[in-house]
Amino acid sequence: MKKGNPYGTHRVIEPKGVLPQPATKVDNNMEIYDNEILIDVQTLNIDSASFTQICDQAQGNVEKIKEIMLGIVKDRGKHQNPVTGSGGMLIGTVEKIGSALEGKIDLKVGDKIATLVSLSLTPLIIDDIINVRKNIDQVDIKGKAILFESGIYAKLPSDIPENLALSVLDVAGAPAQTVKLVKEGNTVLVLGGAGKSGILCLYEAKKLAGNAGKVICIDYSETTIEKVRKLGVADYYIAADATNAIEVYEKVMNVTNGKLCDLVISCVSRSNCEMSAILSTKDEGTVYFFSMATSFTKAALGAEGVGKDINMVIGNGYTKGHSDTALQIMRESKELSDYYTKLYA
């Protein structure tokens, strides 16, 4: 077997010298290097910002969605949406393990895993698209993928249905980062709070902010808000358009008695939501931009433009123990587990 680089740079075709994520093309030949894992892929969980964009471009037509996805992988050797730059993750079965990894990892051929690194850097081939589950951003395929030595993964737990685990693991960084950011007594706003990552953030925020804290859920549609209200994960539920910064700001001013929020978490899968997060944050507060539709330029210049001295955290999808945190919520809360099972499993 050929010797590979731990970060997968040996697979980068263009531009030369970059890592696989920013590369525009990677080598998706499925003959593995000595430090790679070959995965027989079952399902792709496409990142929400990416899938929303693909659906919009395809005007919801499933055959067109398949065509766009196959085109992305043909061009790039990985499923990295050229518009959003984002990927997603996958579940599959370990088919082969490189010789240099033997005895060094807790995996064996036949194990079912979810990769926790983005599809935007994962060499992939799609032989066939079997099923597109449009409502949950999941696509069943026949295909193979490569996990690099540095790539993180989770063995699928036996007590949680696979598609449920896949959905929750896709956004595992969000609740785990929430745990790191929320302090007792904080006022926390989650934009896109009724979505998959948003509810998990609300759940952790409510636990940690405690009785003295205030947790606010903002999402676009009244109908979704009403469904989430039943879960009891927030103190306030507000329907508002996160692209309308002034509308959001006024509603947040109203429920916080003009004090605004210590922490705002942005989980909206659409672009142009930076300013509603920034305006809703109090001076020296923090915004955690989990959304992949966030523009660094809009956030940085936007905050400066309104004279806001706030911390802005880029939504690193990884923090230690993130997969355990996310799966644990499904074990801890029957309400959330039932809700997610109905939607995703």
Ligand X SMILES: NC(=O)c1ccc[n+]([C@@H]2O[C@H](COP(=O)([O-])OP(=O)(O)OC[C@H]3O[C@@H](n4cnc5c(N)ncnc54)[C@H](OP(=O)(O)O)[C@@H]3O)[C@@H](O)[C@H]2O)c1
Report if residue 270 touches ligand X, rule: CB under 6 A.
Answer: yes
Q: Which of residues 206-225 bind ligand X (CB under 6 A)?
A: 219-221, 224
Round the CA-based radius of gyration of the chain to a whole number and report it: 20
- Which residue, 21 or 187, is less far from ligand X as judged by CB? 21
Report if residue 229 touches ligand X, rule: CB under 6 A.
Answer: no
- Alpha carbon of residue 70 to chain centroid: 21
Considering the complex, what minimum distance in angstroms separates the CB of residue 89 from ligand X?
A: 8
Listed in sequence order, the residues at least 6 apart from 330 whose beta carbon sits closer than 8 Å to its beta carbon are 160, 164, 165, 168, 336, 337, 340
Considering the complex, what minimum distance in angstroms separates the CB of residue 96 from ligand X?
A: 27
Helices assigned H by DSSP within 110-258:
162-170, 173-181, 196-209, 222-229, 245-255
Q: Which of residues 101-130 bind ligand X (CB under 6 A)?
A: none
Considering the complex, what minimum distance in angstroms separates the CB of residue 14 from ligand X?
A: 25
Report if residue 292 touches ligand X, rule: CB under 6 A.
Answer: yes
Strands 37-46 and 88-97: antiparallel
- Which residue, 97 or 260, is less far from ligand X as judged by CB? 260
Selected binder of ligand X within 148, 290, 340, 344 (CB under 6 A): 290
Selected binder of ligand X within 163, 269, 280, 325 (CB under 6 A): 269
Across-strand partners of 289?
A: 266, 314
Strands 311-314 and 25-26: unpaired
Binding segment (CB under 6 A) for ligand X, from list 30-38, 72-80, 265-273, 320-328: 265-273
51 Rama class: left (phi>0) / alpha (psi -120 to 50) / beta: alpha
- Alpha carbon of residue 292 to chain centroid: 8
- Which residue, 42 or 86, is less far from ligand X as judged by CB? 86
Considering the complex, what minimum distance in angstroms separates the CB of residue 270 from ligand X?
A: 4
Q: Which of residues 293-322 bind ligand X (CB under 6 A)?
A: 293, 315, 317
Q: How many residues bind ligand X (CB under 6 A)?
A: 30
Report if residue 171 touches ligand X, rule: CB under 6 A.
Answer: yes
Report if residue 36 touches ligand X, rule: CB under 6 A.
Answer: no
- Structural contact between residues 184 and 212, judged by C-beta atoms closer than 8 angstroms: yes
Report if residue 154 touches ligand X, rule: CB under 6 A.
Answer: no
Strands 112-115 and 187-191: unpaired
- Structural contact between residues 252 and 280, judged by C-beta atoms closer than 8 angstroms: yes
Of 325, 269, 297, whose CA–CA distance to 56 is shortest? 269
- Which residue, 32 or 46, is less far from ligand X as judged by CB? 46
- Using Cβ positions, the residue closest to ligand X within the complex turns out to be 195
DSSP 43: E
d(CA 108, CA 194): 38
Q: Which of residues 53-92 bind ligand X (CB under 6 A)?
A: 86
Report if residue 242 touches ligand X, rule: CB under 6 A.
Answer: yes
d(CA 188, CA 215): 5
Contact footprint for ligand X (CB under 6 A): 47-49, 86, 170-171, 173, 192, 194-198, 219-221, 224, 241-243, 267-270, 290-293, 315, 317
